[in-house]
Amino acid sequence: MAHATDKIPTPEHASRKTRDTARRLRPAALASAALGLALTLSGCAQVDTTAPSAVRAGAAHGAPAKFGTADCREAKCIALTFDAGPSENSARLLDILKQKKVPATFFLLGKNHIEKYPQLVKRMAAEGHEVASHTWDHKILTRISDAQIREELKRPNDAIERLTGHKPTLMRPPQGRTDTNVHKIAKELGLAEVLWSVTAKDYTTNDSALITKRVLDQASRDGIILLHDIYPGTVPAVPGIIDALKARGYVFVTVPQLLAPGTAEPGKVYRP
């Protein structure tokens, strides 16, 4: 599988913590882009994924959509997801989502994120967003021991449950890297894995217009959009992304809503 090696400058106007996080995640983010391309082609064909439409089709005949007002069997649904928060930008993002009446799915990091912004985690859940895991410390799960994998997955689950009262059922593996061993441990912990179909590569630019264009160019029904609210160009792009996709007839849903009336099965990997 090919790996991207571009060097991304850290924005000077970002805070020190954001710059530190960006530096730590840049290689992971670049590899995420490479993996997204490889999955689209054939580089990671060994990872079996299940499409949202297949989950819906496998639900009991006549079952009602369980989440919200949208029925993605009929509606043109798309899911907005954010990785690696919460961050200093998340409060503004939540304001935008509330104003636009758009639910999102947040794949949160534990270290320096959940533990630093617990009130934002509570707010995400209280405002109807899906709160999920992006591991504790962004370790690559395919490169660490079983005990470390369990710790990376269990710690954010426990922290999120303490804050929201609900244990996550979804996780996104760092860099999208996963294998049968990760699937097995995720299943033990009651977690399904969620990849993506749209990446704005928002770690490569502060240009909100470019981020918006990249999302709109790739958007399609049942799409799962990957963004990172830790980068300064991303949150300003969100209103335009929402407005443009609504104008195209899309309905925004969380990942569980996208699968309803089916549900994610622990140990499986989901991707449009």
Task: Flag whether pLDDT at 18 surpasses 60.
Answer: no
**Which two structure tokens, joined as six digits, stand for 41?**
């082609």
Looking at 129, 183, 228, 229, which residue is catalytic? 228
Helix-then-strand count for the chain, H and E: 9, 9
Contact by Cβ (8 Å): 17, 111: no
Tens digit of pLDDT for each residue in 50-97?
999 999 998 877 677 666 678 999 999 999 999 999 999 999 999 999
Count of alpha carbons within 13 angstroms of residue 2, beta-carbon side: 12
Active site residue 228: yes
Tens digit of pLDDT for each residue in 217-248?
999 999 999 999 999 999 999 999 999 999 99
| Nearest-angstrom CA–CA distance, 122 and 135 | 18
Q: Say if strands 170-171 and 192-194 run parallel, antiparallel, or are unpaired.
A: parallel
| Nearest-angstrom CA–CA distance, 198 and 173 | 16
Q: Which pLDDT score is estimated for 63?
A: 74
Looking at 71, 83, 202, 229, which residue is catalytic? 83
Question: Which residues does 259 contact at the CB level (< 8 Å), separation at least 6?
Answer: 52, 55, 56, 72, 270
The structural domain count of the chain equals: 1
In a domain, 15, yes or no: no
**Cis amide linkage into residue 261, ω under 30° from 0:** yes
Reference 186, options 144, 225, 141, 226; nearest CA is: 141
Task: Flag whether pLDDT at 264 surpasses 60.
Answer: yes
The CATH number of the domain where 251 resides is what?
Answer: 3.20.20.370
**Which two structure tokens, joined as six digits, stand for 225?**
């959009």
Tens digit of pLDDT for each residue in 178-194?
999 999 999 999 999 99
In a domain, 1, yes or no: no
Tens digit of pLDDT for each residue in 147-164?
999 999 999 999 999 999
Using only C-alpha atoms, the chain has a radius of gyration, in whole angstroms, of 17
Active site residue 61: no
pTM for the model: 0.84
Full domain range(s) for residue 61 = 49-270
**Which two structure tokens, joined as six digits, stand for 72?**
């993605």
